[in-house]
Every structure is written in structure tokens, then in C-alpha cells.
Amino acid sequence: MLCQTPIEKKCSGFNASALPLTALNIARQTGLVDDGEEAVITGKDLPEMDAALSAEWKKKILSTAVFARTTPKQKLDIAAVYQKAGNIVAMTGDGVNDAPALKKADIGIAMGLSGTQVAKETASIVLKDDSFTSIAAAVSHGRVIFQNIQKFVVYLVSCNLSEIFIVTVLGFLAPASTLLPLQILFLNMVTDIFPALALGVGKGDETVMKKPPKDPGKNIISKKGWIMISSYAFAMTTAVVLAVIYCQQVLMTDDQMTNNVAFVTLAFAQLFHVFNMTSAKARFWVNDITKNKFVWLAILLCAGLLVLVFVIPQMRLVLNLAELPLKIWMVSLVASLLPLVMIQVYKLIWER
């Protein structure tokens, strides 16, 4: 981040030779550089743009964290060097002369209290309290929002992919027991949507600012993310197929009953699947998902609606459901927990 400014105003009463040390000291106090950092470049030492792009000066600029007494033109040059090196540049400023650099930077940040109207209109963000800690808070909030979007997408896609896998597999193994269109629609409207919406309002994990920034050129779902989505879908498919086969071969249930087993098992598996959306390093019992009250409300709501369709005769008729004995409910519930256990064990082993 290129932090202009306050340094020049606060140092106006000092000798010019002391300005680099003053700027470096302020940078240390604000946490921009480490205590052992000594490198600082003043505006008079910077060459013209053509020279700055040479390998030697480019390396020197990229390795320097503090610049003092730079002109508006030089601020543009510094921002260009960092951008061409593949960095995301944020520029803070408050004066009219900061406007070109605020426009040039990927993110221009103007001071809301002391900033000029030109700086505010040029910048992408305006700090109402002129506090640099607000920038860190905004970055943290942005990362949480991005994480929530990722969880939302991963959860929905993995649930929908599991439905495709289940219909395909049961179509070969037990065609009469496969999920019906209205049952799939019910799952998509109830057990998918509410937990996904709850994930979208999570507060994020505590390590969000300790992770490296995301490459803006990469997709929301990475190659690793697609592998995890497929793994989630495979785990839920395995649980449903095992429950159906067990009821067919051991409990000798009819086709409608095994169809209901597949429906109930998948419904609860998708509800429990929301707890798989934690990071691999998060603790299972205490994490951003378990702390999210909306997740628990969504699970209670969906579970209640699921039980309600079995209680109301008209709903049972529409969804081709029957009154299930207790042992069938137990088989479905135990099987629905298998994907959660499988994924958590895998994460535990992978983390170690």
C-alpha cells in the first residue's frame, strides 16, 4: 500500500535531511515495516519513469517499503512498477495532487474527514473516520464475504451433484427405488436453500486475515475445490446407496419404502453436510459454522418441514411417501451421518 501524506504535513517543521528518518519512524509505529527496516527512498532520489523500469531500479523499488517526499508523478510511477510486477496496489490520499495516483491504483482510498472533494470523488473507497485500522477491517470483511460465497457455491453444487449421482446409480441398481422428480424438487427447495443461505451470513473464521490474499485472476472455485465438491457428492451418494441396499437385502422393504429411505437419507445427509463447510484446520465442535445461529435455525426448520410432510397425508400422497417404521428412520439417520463422518475423518488425516 502506498501511504502518502500525513507524513509530509507532520514533517513540515523538520529539517529536510530528517524527513526520510521521520517517515521511516512513522511507518514503524503504524506497523507498515519491521523494526529492523532501514530502507527508505525520497522523491529526489527516484529517477524518471524510463529509468525506474530498468531491472536495477525495479528491484530496488519493489524491495523498499517507505517512500518520502514524492511528487504526484512519482506516485504514479511507483504504482505502475508494483502493478506491472503483479501486485494489487492500494493508494491512500487526501489532497488534490493525490487524485492521479488514486485513479491509477487498483483501489484508491480517500480520507473522509480531511480529504478534499476531488480525492473523494476519484477514490474507490472513502474512510469516514480517517483511520487506517478501518482499511484492515474492510479487508477482513471482504474476505469473509468471499469465503461465504465460496461455501454457498460449494454446498449447493455438491448437494445437486449428489442428486445426479444418486439418480444415476439407483437407476442401474434399483430403478423402482430411485428419487422422483417432485422429491428432488422438494430437496432443492427446502434442504438445499435454507442451509446455503445461512452459510452466506456467517462471520467467517478467526484466521481469515492470517491467510495470503487471493489471486484475482483465479476462479471462485479452484481445481482443489472441484475435487472436494466431487468428494462430498460421492460421500452422500455412497450413504444413500448403502441405506437402500441394506433395506432391500436385510429388511426386505418394498420399492416405495426403499424410495422413501433414499429420500430421507439424502435429505438429512444434505443438512448434516453443512458442517463440512469448515476449513481443514478448524476444530469440529467450535468453528464459524457451529457458531452461526442461522445454520442451526435452518437445520431445525428443514428437519421440521421434512417430518411435517410425513405427518400430513396430502403431502405424503404428492411426494409418494409412506408412514415409516422407527427402524427405517434409524437406518436413514445413521446412514445420513456417514458423509459427515467420512469427510471429517479425511480432513483430520489430511491435516495431520
Domain containing residue 292: CATH number: 1.20.1110.10
Same-domain pairing of 126 and 256: no
Measured CA to CA, the distance from residue 275 to residue 343 in angstroms comes to: 10
301 pLDDT tier (thresholds 50, 70, 90): very high
Cα–Cα distance measured from residue 66 to residue 21, given in angstroms and rounded to the nearest whole number: 10
**Greater pLDDT, 16 or 83:** 83
Distance of CA 246 to the CA centre of its chain: 38
Q: For residue 9, is pLDDT > 80?
A: no
pLDDT at 5 over 60: no
Looking at the structure, tell me whether residues 120 and 149 fall in a common domain: no
Compute the mean pLDDT over every residue in the chain, rounded to the nearest whole number.
Answer: 86
Q: What is the pLDDT of residue 181?
A: 93
> Which residue among 108, 130, 152 closes a domain?
130
- Of 130, 153, 177, the last residue of a domain is 130
As a whole number of angstroms, the distance between CA 67 and CA 2 comes to 8
**Which pLDDT band, with edges at 50, 70 and 90, does 8 fall under?**
very low
In a domain, 136, yes or no: no
Reduced to 3 states (helix: H, G, I; strand: E, B; else coil), residue 92 is: strand
- In the prediction, which pLDDT does 46 show? 82
What length does the chain have? 352
Residue 135 lies in a domain: no
Q: Are 114 and 130 in contact (CB under 8 A)?
A: yes
Beta pairing, strands 2-3 & 90-93: parallel
pLDDT average, residue stretch 205-215: 80
What would the pLDDT profile of 90-105 be if each residue is shown by its tens digit? 888 888 888 888 998 8
Distances (CA, A) of 232 to 110, 148, 149, 172, 227: 44, 18, 17, 21, 9
The whole domain housing 45 covers 2-130
Question: Do 255 and 218 share a structural domain?
Answer: yes
Looking at per-residue pLDDT, the higher value among 212 and 300 belongs to 300
Q: Are residues 118 and 234 in the same domain?
A: no
Does the pLDDT of residue 17 top 80, yes or no?
no
Do 281 and 230 share a structural domain? yes
Tell me, yes or no, whether 139 lies in a domain: no
pLDDT the model gives residue 155: 95
Task: Render pLDDT for 160-192 as a digit per residue (tens, 0 to 9).
Answer: 999 999 999 999 998 989 999 999 999 998 888
Q: Residue 93 in contact with residue 101, Cβ under 8 Å?
A: yes
Q: Let me know if residue 122 belongs to a domain.
A: yes
Interval 294-314 mean pLDDT: 93
Are residues 100 and 160 both part of a single domain?
no
What is the layout of strands, in order, in the sheet containing 90-93? 2-3, 90-93, 107-111, 125-127
Whether 206 has a pLDDT exceeding 90, the answer reads: no
Give the model confidence (pLDDT) of 222-255 as tens digits: 888 899 999 999 999 999 999 999 999 998 889 9
C-alpha grid cell for residue 113?
474527514
Whether residue 137 has pLDDT greater than 90: no
pLDDT of amino acid 109: 92
Domains identified in the chain, total number: 2
Domain assignment present for residue 313? The answer is yes
- Whether 273 is covered by a domain: the verdict is yes
Q: If you write DSSP's letter for every residue of 20-68 in order, what string do you get? A: HHHHHHHHHHTTSS-TT----EEGGG---HHHHTSHHHHHHHHT---EE
pTM equals: 0.82
Residue 49 — pLDDT band, cuts 50, 70, 90?
low
- How far, in Å, CA of 117 to CA of 331, rounded? 67
Asked whether residue 307 carries a pLDDT value surpassing 80, the answer given is yes
CA distances from 111 to 24, 25, 33, 153 (A): 21, 22, 22, 36
**Looking at the predicted structure, is the pLDDT value of residue 292 above 80?**
yes
How much is the average pLDDT of 263-282?
A: 90
Tell whether the model's pLDDT for residue 11 goes beyond 80: no
- On whether both 245 and 346 belong to a single domain, the answer is yes
Answer yes or no: do 96 and 159 share one domain: no
Last residue of a domain, one of 82, 98, 130: 130
> Residue 12 has what pLDDT?
42
Q: What is the mean pLDDT of the segment spanning 306-325?
A: 92
The answer on 190 and 126 residing in a single domain is: no
Q: Do 126 and 148 belong together in one domain?
A: no
| 189 in the same domain as 117 | no
**pLDDT on residue 351:** 65
- 188 and 330 share one domain: yes
Can you give the CATH number for the domain in which 47 is found?
3.40.50.1000
Helix (H, G, I), strand (E, B) or coil at 93: strand
Rg (CA), the chain: 29
Give residue 234's pLDDT.
Answer: 96
Q: How are beta strands 125-127 and 107-111 bridged, if at all?
A: parallel
Does pLDDT of 4 surpass 70? no
